[in-house]
Amino acid sequence: MVVSTITENGTNGEQSSPTMGIAPGDYRLVGWDMDTTGKKLTDEICQIAGYTPSSAYSQYVMPYKDLNPPAIKRHNMRVVTVGKYRMLKNSKTNKVLKTKSEVSALTDFLTWLESVKGDAADGVILLYHEPRKVIPAMLLESLQRYNLVERFKQTVRGFANGFNIAEAKCTNSVRTFSLRTLSRTLLKRTEELDNAKDRAYLALQVLQYISLQENTKVGETSGSGDSDTAMKSTIEFIQPFVQPIHIEEEERAKLKVVFERQNSLRPIFGPLFKASRKERQHASPLRRLLAEAGIEYSQLQEAWSNGQKQGLEKLIKEKLIAAEDKKIEDLIKVLESYFDPEKNSKAKTRHEKKDMKSESSKIIDDRENNNKCDSGTETPDTTSSSPINTKLELPENGKVSIED
């Protein structure tokens, strides 16, 4: 059975067991990936790509909104405006990328998948590689916008996540299961992974390698990785890990609910996401914990009104039974500082005063040290009889005479 759980940023993660997937049949396996403007269901596609040993598809898409900063860094592309026109550019080369609208790119992608399916009676399996599963739901959401889901379901039977397959099969050979690590360790390749086309290719190549190694262990021979026999063997190998379309649609519906809860928590976490990167990384899993537990802003507000900190603790501990104590403690601190900003301000003021006192003591100590004389020296005589303080008296004619 393929069991799905919600993970960071409201995305899905899978835990696979070999008791369910899809039934044996006549399938085509396609390596697939997408680049998007962000990781929310409402974000748009900016590149979609697919790969088979005999055919490939890749198309950049002009989104209506800009890529968010993490997406710009991840995909090395950005939207620029020149005069009245918006265009997509490669951040490394600064070259303009040839784009289509999202609906045109998706329509072309479906046409390509239909040609790849050919005479395969049971359809296409889309293979991707993602630690935090979100792009199947994003693809379905995009298809839904243009009423293309039914056409998609006529061709595609399900999705398989190469990350989960590697996690189940490669624990003795690698410690981490990212596509970058697997491609370097297993394939001895070091390609850049900022392009969806390259990731689609590597996702299929890595999976074929893992399948070949597994078949070798059990004494089967399947020829070279791209042969028809090897591909059929690879498809049989991944069938227990394939998630059918209807399951993905159910998860997409659950994701929408989670994102709505996250949006309700914006008054609390919004300022934290606008702060430093460290603050964002700290806030994201805490917001996720609340959303996954079904806690919305109104519930937190009611808990604070009824019992303040104790009310929050009661609600959090009832809903987050399996959460780590440290995360619960951090969460309570964030919530308390939001609902009682005056207390947080006082604590901050005390901390600042303590820092100022320490700084003042340091300045005083430095001044005292500077006023001390070096060993073996004498201080100048500044008494009234000292030559330093004696005034020079001039005669009445204002001239000074010097006598030997």
Q: Domain map of the chain by residue range?
A: 25-214+227-249, 250-342
Give the pairing of strands 55-61 and 77-82: unpaired
Strand ranges in 204-284 using DSSP code E only, listed in sequence order: 243-244
Identify residue 9 by its one-letter amino acid code: N
Phi and psi of 169, rounded to 5°? -110, -15
Report the alpha-carbon distance of residue 222 to residue 235 in Å, rounded. Answer: 12
Strand ranges in 156-259 using DSSP code E only, listed in sequence order: 156-161, 243-244
Report the alpha-carbon distance of residue 281 to residue 202 in Å, rounded. Answer: 29
Q: Is 216 exposed, middle or buried (0-12, 13-18, 19+ CB in 10 A)?
A: exposed
Q: Is 350 exposed, middle or buried (0-12, 13-18, 19+ CB in 10 A)?
A: exposed
* Rg value, the chain, Cα: 33
Give the pairing of strands 28-36 and 124-128: parallel
- Residue 369: what pLDDT? 57
Tens digit of each residue's pLDDT (9 = 90 or more) over 53-88: 999 999 999 999 999 988 999 999 999 998 889 999
Which residues, in sequence order, are CB contacts of 283 under 8 Å at separation 6+? 269, 272, 273, 334
Where would I find the H helices in 77-134?
102-117
User: With contact defined as beta carbons under 8 Å apart, do 220 and 246 qualify?
Assistant: no
- Residue 366: what pLDDT? 56
Report the alpha-carbon distance of residue 107 to residue 147 in Å, rounded. Answer: 11
Give the pairing of strands 55-61 and 45-52: antiparallel
Q: Return per-residue pLDDT of the chain as tens, 404 residues.
A: 333 433 334 444 444 443 358 899 999 999 999 999 998 888 999 999 999 999 999 999 999 999 998 899 999 999 999 888 999 999 999 999 999 999 999 999 999 999 999 999 999 999 999 988 899 999 999 999 999 999 999 999 999 999 999 999 988 888 899 999 999 999 998 888 899 999 999 999 999 999 998 877 665 555 555 678 889 999 999 999 999 999 999 999 988 888 888 888 999 988 888 777 788 888 888 898 898 889 999 999 999 999 888 999 899 888 888 888 888 899 999 999 999 887 755 544 554 555 555 555 555 555 555 554 444 444 444 444 444 444 444 444 444 444 43
Top CATH class, 25-214+227-249: alpha beta
Nearest CA among 136, 140, 115 for reference residue 126:
136
Report the alpha-carbon distance of residue 396 to residue 404 in Å, rounded. Answer: 21
Within 10 angstroms of residue 53's Cβ, the number of other Cβ atoms is: 18
- Residue 59: what pLDDT? 98
Phi and psi of 134, rounded to 5°? -150, -30
Report the alpha-carbon distance of residue 272 to residue 15 in Å, rounded. Answer: 31
- For residues 154-182, one letter each, b for 16 or more C-beta atoms within 10 angstroms of the residue's C-beta and e for the rest, the string is ebbbbbbbbbbbbbbbbeeeeeebebbeb
Tens digit of each residue's pLDDT (9 = 90 or more) over 186-234: 999 888 889 999 999 999 999 999 999 887 766 555 555 567 888 999 9
Hey, what are 72's tokens? Answer: 């710009």
pTM of the model: 0.74
User: How is 29-88 classified by DSSP, letter by letter?
Assistant: EEEEEEEESSSSTT--EEEEEEEETTEEEEEEE--SSPPPHHHHHHHTEEEEEETTEEEE
Report the alpha-carbon distance of residue 141 to residue 243 in Å, rounded. Answer: 17
- Residue 365: what pLDDT? 57
Report the alpha-carbon distance of residue 309 to residue 313 in Å, rounded. Answer: 6
